[in-house]
Amino acid sequence: MCAKVNATVGCYHQKYISGLDVEVCVCESQLGAMPCNNTTKLTNKLSRVVLLTIAINTFITLYHKIFKYS
């Protein structure tokens, strides 16, 4: 989604009474360069990978503890 805004660079967060939680990050892209919002996408992907790795490691550790003493 693209929008023109009058704001400085940064992220803004607002929670509505209905429970809707909105976060908007504003950045300034350079002509001919990658969009500046790529870091947000990369951060989301990396956090998913980290969480998945932690979950797998936890599962393997528990599996070995359960079946080692059985």
Domain residues of the chain, as ranges? 10-68
Cα–Cα distance measured from residue 21 to residue 12, given in angstroms and rounded to the nearest whole number: 11
Q: What does pTM read for this prediction?
A: 0.40
Higher pLDDT, 33 or 67: 67
Q: What is the pLDDT of residues 7-55, one digit of tens each?
A: 677 778 888 888 888 887 777 777 777 766 666 666 677 788 889 999 9
Cα–Cα distance measured from residue 34 to residue 53, given in angstroms and rounded to the nearest whole number: 29
